[in-house]
Structure 1
Amino acid sequence: MHGRLRDPPPTWINAAARTRHGGQDDTGDGEMSGTGVRPATAAEGPAAAEDGRVLLVVAAIAAAFLLFGLIADRPGVIATGLFKILLARDTLITDYIGVGGMGAAFVNASLLTLIGCLIYRIAGAKMTGGAVAALLLTLGFGLFGKNLLNVWPIIGGVWLYCRVKGERFAAHANTAFFGCALAPIFSEILFSTTLPFTVTLPLGLATGLVMGFVLVPVAAQLFKAHMGFSLYNMGFAAGVLGTLVVALYRSYGFVPAPVFIWTSGNNLWLGVFLFLIFAGLAAAGFAMDRGALGGVRTILAMTGQAPTDFIGAAGLGATLVNMGASGALGTAYLLVVGGDLNGPTIGAIMTIVGFAAAGKHPGNIWPVMLGVFIGTLAKPWNADMPSLQLAALFGTTLAPIAGRFGWPWGIVAGFLHSSAALAVGDLHGGLVLYNNGFAAGLVASVLAPIIIAFRREKPDAANASPPATPSGTAR
């Protein structure tokens, strides 16, 4: 059930294969991060009871991952695997199923997310669509890149920012968790073989804290570039910041070595597990709200342009149905093209599920996936190439382009993304998990203004300032 390690791609495409967004490759943002969804206020957000229900749903999904992990392996094997995961360098792509085994990977992801749920609860953060996306990205990327060790310096940096600015951490909780796209930089420094541990530990902590500290203003500024047409704003922000940090370290001879750990052979078991999750989400949605179909129609009529909160717009029940349907569509695409269900691709699928609460729905993601697929036909690589599997799934961050301007432009966006996602990874050395979020931010920042210019209209968010507090900024 652990699957076999897939042979690395030929050397002539190895550089491209390393660029997948962990995706964010993410995601999702996943991530990828910074959806641009502003933090809910008492007047506009769900009531405390509704916050509790939303948090319970996220915790239930994480608990399902925990149960699956405990069934997949014996406790001793899981413990050993978790230790290996904590010591992994986490550069894209590091599939935790290949590092520590199936059980350890799922236990790591679930525990990390459950701790995240506890932090949200203690902080009193509003459970908006952006919050759901942030936590489910944590769950997905807990299978490749984020672990119980490397995320805390980034989160701590955001907490320090809040202390210095005199603001509540709850207002920036989403930014903190989305910002963990930069967690591999901490791991890379900490486990460096060129410096003693007495140097790498304080250096890694300082780097992580500084990156987390500056994420809030950086994400707010960069949101203006793509105007909400890429849902993974934090992917864009983390990509820019990560590129700068990696360039700084490279100038001193610190060059991250490429990593490619990708498992295959588990499609049956993982596919059954995922579809059970999606069916459960849809069933829960209908059980909570008998009028959920009406809410789904409301969601399908929305463009998805950030900031968007489907929970606030259509209710939790309809949002859960949309999450299940969107996740099933992403999984179906992967299986149809002959892809692999593993840590990275499940991370991408859970990014779709998470952002199905904050901008994605079947109506605006299929054109982007089709565009990426068409892009593979014009390249010397197939749609089942690891980096292109992830590009199709994480590329749905560009869904607002299809939602706002129509499906043909969504196909164009996906086509462009299939190339951009292969090119930007070398800039950050694979140390930014939301690689696709970075690439999509570039695509949206260029494509959206061109479309607007020729359509002679202004987008909903074109002239609006970014969220005053970009806590909703997602992957």
Structure 2
Amino acid sequence: MDNFNKNRLKKIEFISILLIGLIILGFSTYVFYERENVISGILRIIASPAILITDFLVIGGIGAAFLNAFLIFLFNFTLSRLLKVEINGLLIASFFTVFGFSFFGKNILNILPFYLGGILYSIYEHIDFKDIFVTISFTSALAPFVSEVAFRVDTTDTSYINAIALGIIIGFIVTPLAKKMAGFHEGLNLYNLGFTGGILGAVITSILKLFNFTITPQRIISTEYDLALKIICGSIFLTLIIIGFFINESSFKGYTTLLKDSGLKSDFVKKYGYGLTFINMGVMGFVATIFVLLLKETLNGPLLAGILTVVGFSAYGKHFKNTIPILLGVYLAGWGSSTNGFTIALSALFGTSLAPVAGVYGVVWGVIAGWLHLAVVQSIGSVHGGLNLYNNGFSAGIVAGFLLPIMEMIKDRKDKERLKYLKRKKQIYDAIIEERERMNKGD
């Protein structure tokens, strides 16, 4: 590496550390000013049943919620580095998604059994755990099952053991299930583990109900941290754009090429590099936040998770050209119904998992997919009792699987019509050439 590139890399690292340090310093000052007891807050988060929807900003306070999220991020990042997992778009998506859901549903303890189950599966199948690390990290969508069994469903002395055992079983069986489920929607739903988790969650919930375990969904949503979350989000997204700008040789060159990508099984890191990927992540963070603001909704734990998930998957499939049709479709569905603004906002943010539908089949189908998503997601949660945090991923999988054969049928019909048109055009052209040759011979 020449001196120019070394100096440039050092400058990028310095800017990155400075910006991230300023965000952390500002947030720490805010928490200190609010005089929160972070330790007691995180203990309340750990002991919470965590069922949908449980906003940890209410349960433990903003300091404890961010500490929980930071600990989970640190755990996943450290484990990925120890395992030497390749840093690609999907890994970045998992980091941001899991970090986001650490504000409602996931805590540093209820995710651990899934990793144990994944390790046991890797031993059983004689594969490297790093090959299924991302799958297992997404599997923590079912973390409320662990908390529910440990702290709410079973009050016996064995409740904690039962909870750990259930998490290990889920972690053990989820990888082969996820592989099979992906074929149902053929990648048109970016949240395949949400769809898998929904199927698995429905089965486990049915078993729990068979033994008279009552699962009661709840709705705990914060309203007091709106301004703080807006400042934090804006700072993070701007930081991503600035870092990406410097990595991309101090330019936005190539971003228009990224925007032409369909988003279907697209790893933006591999295809376009870190610079453009970070720029896209920052841009999409602002797009998601502005959408929530246009709906005049207050930022809270669940909406923050939705925004951060959009940001994460902007490294693997999402950009504003293929997500805005989904957002529009959800909005139009909500506009003509009695659905409240929070549900519309949350469903739209997570519904962008259907972005490849718009990218592959066009804007109109993207709007239709978004419209259907809101209709399905409001009913599908009862199937798993609210214990699958990726409920929108479950809904998106159903919508994608439902639309896929219809879209393919229409596409095939159009292709056949186009082929017939081209054949007819060729026949006419050949006839003209033949007539000209005949006339020339006649001369």
TM-score relative to the length of structure 1: 0.81
Matching residue's letter, 1:405: Y
4+ long deviations beyond 6 Å = 54-65
Higher percent of residues as helix: 2
Contact kept? 1:323, 1:357, Cα under 8 Å: yes
Contact kept? 2:118, 2:136, Cα under 8 Å: yes
What is the distance in 1 between the residues matched to 2:16 and 2:349?
A: 21
- How far is 1:330 from its partner? 0.4
Tell me the residue number matched to 1:333.
291
What is the distance in 2 between the residues matched to 1:432 and 1:57?
A: 39
Residues 65, 163 of structure 1: alpha-carbon distance in 2 compared, 3 angstrom cutoff:
farther
- How far is 1:69 from its partner? 5.1
Matching residue's letter, 1:113: F
Contact kept? 1:90, 1:144, Cα under 8 Å: yes
For structure 1, the 5+ residue unaligned runs are 1-53, 460-475
What is the DSSP-based 3-state SS (H/G/I as helix, E as strand, rest coil) of the residue aligned with 1:294? coil
- What aligned pairs does 1:284-295 form with structure 2 within 5 A after superposition? 284-290=243-249, 293-295=252-254
Does the alignment pair 1:396 with 2:352? yes
What is the DSSP-based 3-state SS (H/G/I as helix, E as strand, rest coil) of the residue aligned with 1:93? coil
What is the DSSP-based 3-state SS (H/G/I as helix, E as strand, rest coil) of the residue aligned with 1:356? helix
Residues 158, 59 of structure 1: alpha-carbon distance in 2 compared, 3 angstrom cutoff:
farther
Tell me the residue number matched to 2:257.
298
What is the DSSP-based 3-state SS (H/G/I as helix, E as strand, rest coil) of the residue aligned with 1:390? helix
- How far is 1:231 from its partner? 0.2
Contact kept? 1:238, 1:432, Cα under 8 Å: yes
Does the alignment pair 1:345 with 2:306? no
- How far is 1:59 from its partner? 10
- What aligned pairs does 1:36-55 form with structure 2 within 5 A after superposition? none
Pairs aligned (count):
402
Matching residue's letter, 1:137: T
- What aligned pairs does 1:258-277 form with structure 2 within 5 A after superposition? 258-277=217-236
What is the DSSP-based 3-state SS (H/G/I as helix, E as strand, rest coil) of the residue aligned with 2:304? helix
Contact kept? 1:69, 1:104, Cα under 8 Å: no
What is the distance in 1 between the residues matched to 2:294 and 2:193?
A: 30
Matching residue's letter, 1:112: I
What is the distance in 2 between the residues matched to 1:110 and 1:316?
A: 22
Does the alignment pair 1:90 with 2:50? yes
- What aligned pairs does 1:369-384 form with structure 2 within 5 A after superposition? 369-382=327-340, 384=341
Contact kept? 2:20, 2:239, Cα under 8 Å: no
Tell me the residue number matched to 1:164.
124
Q: 2:363 aligns with which of 407, 426, 438?
A: 407
Question: Larger radius of gyration, structure 1 or 2?
Answer: 2
Residues 83, 56 of structure 1: alpha-carbon distance in 2 compared, 3 angstrom cutoff:
farther
- What aligned pairs does 1:31-70 form with structure 2 within 5 A after superposition? 67=25, 70=28
- How far is 1:378 from its partner? 1.5
Matching residue's letter, 1:363: K
Q: 1:138 aligns with which of 79, 90, 98?
A: 98
Q: 1:155 aligns with which of 112, 115, 131?
A: 115
Residues 66, 200 of structure 1: alpha-carbon distance in 2 compared, 3 angstrom cutoff:
farther
Q: 1:418 aligns with which of 364, 374, 398?
A: 374
- How far is 1:256 from its partner? 1.1
- How far is 1:91 from its partner? 0.3
- How far is 1:73 from its partner? 2.4
- How far is 1:293 from its partner? 2.5
Matching residue's letter, 2:185: H
For structure 2, the 5+ residue unaligned runs are 1-11, 416-443
Q: Percent identity?
A: 35
What is the distance in 2 between the residues matched to 1:97 and 1:284?
A: 29
Does the alignment pair 1:125 with 2:85? yes
Contact kept? 1:154, 1:211, Cα under 8 Å: yes
What is the DSSP-based 3-state SS (H/G/I as helix, E as strand, rest coil) of the residue aligned with 1:456? helix
- How far is 1:76 from its partner? 6.0
What is the distance in 2 between the residues matched to 1:401 and 1:457?
A: 18
Does the alignment pair 1:239 with 2:198? yes
Residues 241, 63 of structure 1: alpha-carbon distance in 2 compared, 3 angstrom cutoff:
farther
CA deviations over 1:374-408 (Å, ceiling 9, x no partner): 001121224x1x22221010000000000111111
Contact kept? 2:147, 2:163, Cα under 8 Å: yes
Residues 100, 203 of structure 1: alpha-carbon distance in 2 compared, 3 angstrom cutoff:
same
- How far is 1:195 from its partner? 2.7
Tell me the residue number matched to 1:282.
241
Residues 247, 147 of structure 1: alpha-carbon distance in 2 compared, 3 angstrom cutoff:
same
- RMSD (Å), alpha carbons: 2.4
